[in-house]
Amino acid sequence: YQTAKAAGLTAGQVPGLKVKWAFGFPGGVSAYGQPTIVGGRVFVGSDNGYVYSLDARTGCVYWSFQAKAAVRNAITIALIRKDGSTQHAAYFGDLKANVYAVDAANGSLLWTRRVEDHVAGRVTGAPAVQGGRVFVSISAWEGFSGSNEDYPCCTFRGSVLALDANTGRQLWKRYMIPEEPKPVKKNSKGTQLWAPGG
């Protein structure tokens, strides 16, 4: 929602809007995060792992980048230092807990870092960039597996971490549940269950 003043449209003008362009994701896949619009470009990820930079005026593709898994978060654009100069980087994560910095102008990989070893870990929130650091939240799909009686649930703790924006080096990591999970009981099938987790 935007106020009429911020959006530049009145409620009466909305019915007269017309499609200027459309972008069809190859292979019938769909967009996963909110699009980010910066400098006349639209940056958006997809469920097949491609991130696209599109011309905001025409919808034409400037570049595409293939991540290791689906990209579900919005892309964050911020400055990065490289070879003594600054340039814009596109920061995002994927559903295998990898974080990327890609050259926003041409889509070339600047760095990538796996930020969680847990098999269920993933990045679904848009990274935040401030003061030369990239802040990333790590979530998991472990809740979906918890109903499977063969799955040893639940060992994921959730975390937030900071990476160096220029290199991807991990600066710190804090778990949302500080205590490491311990075996607590076995279910009716004999599968070990763990706590605390979440």
184: which strand partners? none
Round to whole Å and give the CA distance between 198 and 180: 11
Task: Indicate the pLDDT class of residue 152, thresholds 50, 70 and 90.
Answer: confident
- pLDDT tens digits for 33-52? 899 999 999 999 999 999 99
Closest CA to 46 of 78, 21, 88, 75: 75
Task: Indicate the pLDDT class of residue 15, thresholds 50, 70 and 90.
Answer: very high
Closest CA to 46 of 64, 59, 21: 64
- pLDDT tens digits for 173-192? 999 988 998 999 999 889 98
Q: Taking the model in full, what pTM does it have? A: 0.88
Round to whole Å and give the CA distance between 108 and 123: 21
